[in-house]
C-alpha cells in the first residue's frame, strides 16, 4: 500500500479509481460483486468453522487490501478467500486445519449456489486444487502486503464511543451499529478509512435508523476526530449493499471467470446442469 496510517494500511485514490482487476478487463461493477461474494463466503465459512468474528473480519480486510494490489483475473476469489481465512486464523491465534477450511468453503459455495453438497474425497482433484490454491494465496497475500498483516478493527471503538455518548444501554442501536460494521466488511470502507471514522459512521447510521438525536453543538463526532463528509461516504457504501442483488452464480475460479466473461448466461446454465 502506498499510504500507511498508524492503524491500518489505506489505499490511495489512484488505487480506488483504477484497481488491477479493472486493468485486466473486469468491470468495476463485477469486481465489486466479486469482492462482496468473496467476503460473504469467508463469513459463511467462518461461521461453519466456529471462528470468532474478529478472525472472519480480519480475513475479509486482508482480502479487500489484496485486490487493490493484485488482480482477480490472476488470483481468483475462491483461492484468495481460502488463503485469507487460513492466514487470518493464524494471525488471530484461532488456527484451523486446512482440510476443515476447504470443507467449510466448499459447503458455503454449494449452499450459495443452491447445489447439492457432497463431501469431497481428500484424494480427489477438486480437493487438491483448493489446497494448492489456499497455500499459494496465503503466500501471495503475505508477499503483496509486505508481510504487514496487522488489522485494527473498529468494533471496540464503536462500543467505547457509545459509552461516551451514554448510549451503550440502547441495545437496538448497538446491535444495529454492530451489524453495519459486519456488513461493511463487504465494501472498501475498511481499507479506505481509519477505524475511528468507521465507528462514528455506523453510530451515525444506526442512530438515524432508530430516530435518536445525537449532540450537535458541537457535533459529537468531532470529539472522536471524525469528519462528516467521510462518514457520509461510509454510510453510502453500506446502504448501497442493500440495494443490490448479488448473483449466486458469480465465477469463483479462474476457469469460471473466463467462461463468465465470455457468456454469463451459458456459465450459469452449466452450473445448474
Average pLDDT rounded to a whole number, residues 16-43:
95
Residues 109, 67: contact at Cβ < 8 Å? no
Checking if the pLDDT of 8 tops 90, the result is no
State residue 272's pLDDT score: 78
Q: Mean pLDDT across the chain, nearest whole number?
A: 94
Q: pLDDT tier at 25 (50, 70, 90 boundaries)?
A: very high
* pTM, rounded to two decimals: 0.94
Residues 66, 145: contact at Cβ < 8 Å? yes
Which has the minimum average pLDDT: 106-120, 181-195, 255-269? 255-269
Average pLDDT rounded to a whole number, residues 4-30:
83
Q: pLDDT tier at 7 (50, 70, 90 boundaries)?
A: low
State residue 13's pLDDT score: 83
Which has the minimum average pLDDT: 30-39, 140-149, 189-198, 257-266? 257-266
Checking if the pLDDT of 76 tops 90, the result is yes
Residue-wise pLDDT tens digits, 137-179: 999 999 999 999 999 999 999 999 999 999 989 999 999 999 9
Residues found in the chain: 273
Antiparallel, parallel or unpaired: β 9-10 and 3-4: antiparallel
User: How remote is the C-alpha of 22 from its chain's centroid?
Assistant: 18
Cell numbers for 26, please give them.
473486469
The neighbouring-strand residues paired with 216 are 219
Checking if the pLDDT of 5 tops 50, the result is no
Q: pLDDT tier at 6 (50, 70, 90 boundaries)?
A: very low
Helix axes 264-272, 254-262, angle to 10 degrees: 130
User: How remote is the C-alpha of 210 from its chain's centroid?
Assistant: 26
Cell numbers for 28, please give them.
468495476
Helix axes 171-184, 155-164, angle to 10 degrees: 150
Q: pLDDT tier at 26 (50, 70, 90 boundaries)?
A: very high
Average pLDDT rounded to a whole number, residues 18-29:
93
Provide the percentage of residues in the chain whose pLDDT is more than 90: 85
Cell numbers for 103, please give them.
470443507
Q: pLDDT tier at 2 (50, 70, 90 boundaries)?
A: very low
State residue 4's pLDDT score: 42
Average pLDDT rounded to a whole number, residues 107-116:
95
Residue-wise pLDDT tens digits, 168-189: 899 999 999 999 999 999 999 9
Which has the minimum average pLDDT: 1-15, 64-78, 176-190? 1-15
Q: Which residue has the higher pLDDT, 243 or 272?
A: 243
Amino acid at each position: 500500500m502506498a499510504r500507511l496510517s498508524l492503524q491500518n494500511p489505506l489505499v490511495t485514490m489512484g488505487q480506488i479509481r483504477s484497481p488491477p482487476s479493472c486493468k485486466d478487463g473486469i468491470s468495476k461493477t463485477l469486481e465489486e460483486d466479486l469482492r462482496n461474494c468473496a467476503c460473504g463466503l469467508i463469513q459463511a465459512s467462518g461461521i461453519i468453522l466456529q471462528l470468532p468474528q474478529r478472525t472472519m473480519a480480519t480475513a475479509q480486510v486482508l482480502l479487500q487490501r489484496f485486490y487493490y494490489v493484485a488482480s482477480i483475473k490472476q488470483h481468483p476469489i475462491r483461492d484468495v478467500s481460502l488463503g485469507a481465512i487460513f492466514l487470518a486464523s493464524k494471525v488471530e491465534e484461532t488456527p484451523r486445519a486446512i482440510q476443515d477450511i476447504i470443507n467449510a468453503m466448499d459447503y458455503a459455495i454449494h449452499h450459495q449456489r443452491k447445489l447439492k453438497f457432497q463431501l469431497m474425497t481428500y484424494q480427489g482433484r477438486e480437493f487438491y486444487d483448493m489446497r494448492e490454491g489456499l497455500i499459494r494465496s496465503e503466500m501471495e497475500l503475505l508477499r503483496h502486503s509486505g508481510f504487514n498483516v496487522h488489522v485494527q478493527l473498529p468494533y471496540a471503538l464503536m462500543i467505547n464511543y457509545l459509552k461516551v455518548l451514554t448510549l451503550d444501554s440502547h441495545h437496538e442501536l448497538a446491535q444495529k451499529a454492530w451489524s453495519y460494521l459486519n456488513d461493511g466488511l463487504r465494501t472498501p470502507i475498511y481499507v479506505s478509512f481509519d477505524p475511528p471514522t468507521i465507528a462514528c459512521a455506523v453510530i451515525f447510521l444506526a442512530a438515524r435508523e432508530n430516530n435518536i438525536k445525537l449532540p450537535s453543538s458541537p457535533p459529537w463526532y468531532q470529539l472522536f476526530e471524525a469528519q462528516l463528509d467521510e462518514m457520509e461516504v461510509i454510510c453510502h457504501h453500506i446502504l448501497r449493499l442493500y440495494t443490490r442483488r448479488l448473483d449466486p452464480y458469480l465465477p469463483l475460479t479462474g476457469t469460471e471467470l473466463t467462461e463468465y466473461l465470455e457468456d454469463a448466461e451459458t456459465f450459469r446454465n452449466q452450473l445448474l446442469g
